[in-house]
Amino acid sequence: MEKRTNKNKFGEISHTNFLENIECLQNGSKTLLEVFSSTCQKYENKNFLGTIKDNKLIWQTFSEINIKIQKLSTFLNSILQENAIFGIFSVNRYEWIVSELAGYMSNCINCPLYSTFGPDAVNLIINETEMTVCCVSGDKAESLLDILLSSKKHFLKDIIIFDDDFNRENEFLDLEINVHYISQIFLETEINLRSNKLDLNSLATICYTSGTSGIPKGVQITHKNFIANISAFFRGQTKNEMYRVSDSEVYLSYLPLAHIMERIVVHVITSVGGSIGFYRGNPKKIENDYLIVRPTFIIAVPRVLNIFKQKIEEGVAERGKLSKFIFNIALKIKMWLQCRGSVKCWPLDSLIFNKISNKFGGRIKACLCGSAALSHNVLTFLKATMSMRIFQGYGQTETTGATTLCPLDGDNFDNVGIPYPSCKIKLSPVDGHDKYSGELLVKGDNVTKGYFKRPELNAELFTEDNWLKTGDIARFYNGVFKIIGRTKDRFKTGHGEYIEPEKIETLLTGGLIQDIIITTLKGYDKLLALVVCGKEGIQEKEVLDYLIKKGNKLVDDKKMNRYEIPSHIILLKKGFDTFDGGKLLSPTAKKIRVKIEKFFYEDIKRALSKK
């Protein structure tokens, strides 16, 4: 494999295609609005955004969407000043994209609200941004109204509702908030646009993220940050590290558009003239959405891919022992072939694996996985059974969704790859780690300028020489980075050993272990595992024995230390998302460790007290 990274005398590691001081995309686009406008000129009559209605995909062309953007922008001009912040509160749908681009056309800044954010978070964001306008779906208008009714203070003056069947309009009017319907705006507005004044350094969005702390903070992302990462995606294509997107691409959008990674991919697809179909907002129907949209490219978080694997295995088991035996042999052969660079194997695919991929539309060529570490077992299983390439990314909202990426042609899957072409990385020493490890620091055109109205957090976010502190502990070895923990999550046992729980969790996940949290309490020298295992009839001791056996194997393979093997266990039959009303996970399905440990505190204490 050719050299892909450079390291200078200061320990700064960058992609060989690293570019800083970005000025525009290759087509000259300097803002996200220009990205869309440029594509619209070239592909005006091509399908752009698709909505599922009555189990059919209804497409709107670039030109049709452009007219709606211009009409909404004209309306926004009458209720928003330039550089004002407005909200978008909805699941993924075409009106979300129209609202975003209309805001840019009006020289405004959007602030998405996760559809899963609770009342306190929504209230905090509305008041901190002082937003006066919010674009909402009908169901979120209901939620918003209930939040405002219980709030002592708000700045909202106008809401724009995506659905016509909302029936609580008078309650908004009682709060002195005007109600507008987007369908009427599209029907009645005569286009009269502002002069567009956006440039590279204009603020595009304030993206609130709770991360794993549970406390929302607004990350300020400029058009330059977006353009840098879109440009880097295409620079990666030139070295065959990225999936090569084209105007024939069909993308299924279902990860929240409030998530920065989803927005980057949507704008990448937009820039090449691809088509984007939206899921119906119901995770329980998403399997059917795949069949209707028939995507060629998707992104996913590990939790979703874990469910894919589980569903496939359940389907195989239902066919009986002989079918399962044949499947397992075919799977081993396919995995062996894939280690040698083959994604497809015609005889095995036509006889066995096409039946699986057809359940997801039959056309997926590649999947970008991010947000958290993906188990090696899940990755290799899905690559084989669905005949698709999976490439993992690592990033955070503060780096506009991308910091490193595993090249498509890589054959080592236990890492997060090489620096994304828009940034450079260095490691800052951390106690208890060798010279190859440290806190991962980032600098580049994709890095945020800081949190909105949080100077005290900004002081903690950057080093004195302006490197972003990610809070992640990484190891750089053999040319790739591997995330081995979080600075805030690591702890010492009673014997003084440093524990990186995330590293252990990634190694132990798979097989019987659907999900896991490694923890302990102050004063205890043993580790405890909160294990999710839904296998019917299985007992706690069986799972613990399995865990210890797996841990010992990892010790023999020199991937773990013996003191990292948990000696106590709490068995959970359902996932962490089913407890405490789903509050134990972030909107991007990341486990919020501090909340999980607090929720299960008494159980953990009781389990650790057993001999």
Domain ranges of the chain: 32-198+244-278, 491-609
Query: Cα separation of 436 and 474, whole Å?
Result: 8
Q: HSE (CB half, 13 Å, CA atoms) of 313?
A: 15
pLDDT tens sequence across 228-266: 999 999 887 766 778 899 999 999 999 999 999 999 999
Tell me what pLDDT residue 1 has: 47
Average pLDDT score, the chain: 91
pTM for the full model? 0.86
- Say if strands 250-253 and 515-519 run parallel, antiparallel, or are unpaired: unpaired
- Burial group, residue 223, by CB count within 10 angstroms (0-12, 13-18, 19+): buried
Helix (H, G, I), strand (E, B) or coil at 22: coil
Q: Give the residue from 121, 220, 102 showing the smallest Cα distance to 160.
A: 102
Between the CA of residue 246 and those of 36, 249, 274, 275, 560, what are the distances in Å?
Answer: 15, 6, 6, 10, 42
What tens digit of pLDDT does each residue of 318-339 get? 888 999 999 999 999 998 888 7
Residue 134 has pLDDT above 50, yes or no: yes
Give the mean model confidence (pLDDT) for residues 539-565.
Answer: 91
Q: Which amino acid, one-letter code, is at 133? A: V
Return the pLDDT at 433: 76
Tell me what pLDDT residue 495 has. 64
pLDDT at 526: 86
Instruction: Give percent helix, percent strand, percent coil of the chain, each to the nearest 5.
Output: 40, 20, 40
Pick the CATH number of 32-198+244-278 from 2.40.37.10, 2.60.40.10, 3.40.50.980, 3.40.50.720: 3.40.50.980
Q: Is residue 324 within a helix (H) or strand (E), and if so which, with residue range?
A: helix 321-338
User: Is 157 strand, coil or helix?
Assistant: coil
Share of the chain above pLDDT 70, in %: 96
Positive or negative, the Cα torsion across 487, 493, 499, 504?
negative
The torsion angle over the Cα atoms of residues 36, 37, 42 and 43, rounded to 10 degrees, is: 50
| Distance of alpha carbon 224 from alpha carbon 153, whole angstroms | 34
CATH (one of 3.40.309.10, 3.40.50.970, 2.40.50.140, 3.30.300.30) for 491-609: 3.30.300.30
Which residue type does 96 have?
W
Longest dimension (CA), the chain: 75
At residue 211 the predicted structure's pLDDT band, cuts being 50, 70 and 90, is low
Predicted confidence at residue 412, as pLDDT, reads 66
d(CA 232, CA 212): 27
Number of residues written out for the chain:
611
pLDDT one-digit tens code per residue, 417-471 = 899 999 999 999 987 778 889 999 999 999 999 999 999 999 999 999 999 999 9
